Amino acid sequence: MPAPNIDTIVSLAKRRGFVFPSSEVYGGLGSAWDYGPLGVELCNNVKQAWWRWLVYERDDIEGIDSSIILNRLVWKYSGHEATFNDWLVDCRKCKGRFRSDKIVDNKCPSCGASDWTEARPFNTMLQTKLGAVADDDATALAYLRPETAQGIFINFLNVQTAMRRKLPFGIAQVGKSFRNEVTPGNFILRTREFEQMEMEYFVSPTAEHSQLVDYWVEQYLEWFGSLGINRDNLYLYEVPEDERAHYSKRTVDIMYKYFPEREKPWEELMGIAWRTDFDLSAHSKNKLDAEGKRINPESTEDLSYFDEATKQRFYPHVIEPAAGVNRTVLAVLMDAYSEKTNDKGETRVILKLTPQLAPIKAAILPLAKNKPEIVGMAKAIKRSLQPVLRAVYDDTGGIGKLYARQDEIGTPFCITVDHQSLEDEAVTVRDRDTWEQERIKVSELAEHLQKRLKPYPVAAAETI
Binding site for ligand GAP (CB under 6 A): 147, 149, 179, 181, 190-191, 194, 196, 198, 268-271, 320, 322-324, 326-327
With respect to ligand GAP, which residue has the nearer C-beta, 320 or 407? 320
User: Taking the alpha carbons of 318, 126, 99, 8 in that order, is the dihedral positive or negative?
Assistant: positive
Residue 321 CB, shortest distance to ligand GAP, in Å, is 9
CA geometry: angle at 78 spanning 237 and 189, to 5°? 40
Residue 176 CB, shortest distance to ligand GAP, in Å, is 11
Distance CA 434, CA 347 (A): 15
Residue 270 CB, shortest distance to ligand GAP, in Å, is 4
Residue 198 CB, shortest distance to ligand GAP, in Å, is 5
Residue 155 CB, shortest distance to ligand GAP, in Å, is 15
Residue nearest to ligand GAP (CB): 324
Residue 327 CB, shortest distance to ligand GAP, in Å, is 4
445: left (phi over 0), alpha (psi -120 to 50) or beta: alpha
Residue 133 CB, shortest distance to ligand GAP, in Å, is 29
Give me Rg for the CA atoms of the chain. 26
Distance CA 55, CA 199 (A): 10
With respect to ligand GAP, which residue has the nearer C-beta, 9 or 323? 323
Distance CA 41, CA 56 (A): 20
With respect to ligand GAP, which residue has the nearer C-beta, 207 or 318? 318
Residue 174 CB, shortest distance to ligand GAP, in Å, is 11
CB atoms within 10 A of CB 54: 24
Residue 187 CB, shortest distance to ligand GAP, in Å, is 10
With respect to ligand GAP, which residue has the nearer C-beta, 145 or 382? 145
With respect to ligand GAP, which residue has the nearer C-beta, 250 or 327? 327
Given a contact cutoff of 8 angstroms between Cβ atoms, the answer to whether 85 and 124 are in contact is yes
Residue 190 CB, shortest distance to ligand GAP, in Å, is 4
Q: How far is CA 214 from CA 249, 253, 434, in A?
A: 14, 11, 37
Q: How far is CA 430 from CA 220, 363, 435, in A?
A: 32, 10, 6
With respect to ligand GAP, which residue has the nearer C-beta, 250 or 430? 250
Provide the b/e sequence for 238-263 (b: ≥16 CB within 10 Å).
ebeeeeebebbebbbbbbbbbeeeee
124, 245, 305, 302: CA torsion to nearest 10:
-40
Distance CA 72, CA 61 (A): 28
With respect to ligand GAP, which residue has the nearer C-beta, 254 or 374? 254
Between strands 337-341 and 347-351, the pairing is antiparallel
Given a contact cutoff of 8 angstroms between Cβ atoms, the answer to whether 177 and 196 are in contact is yes
CB atoms within 10 A of CB 370: 8
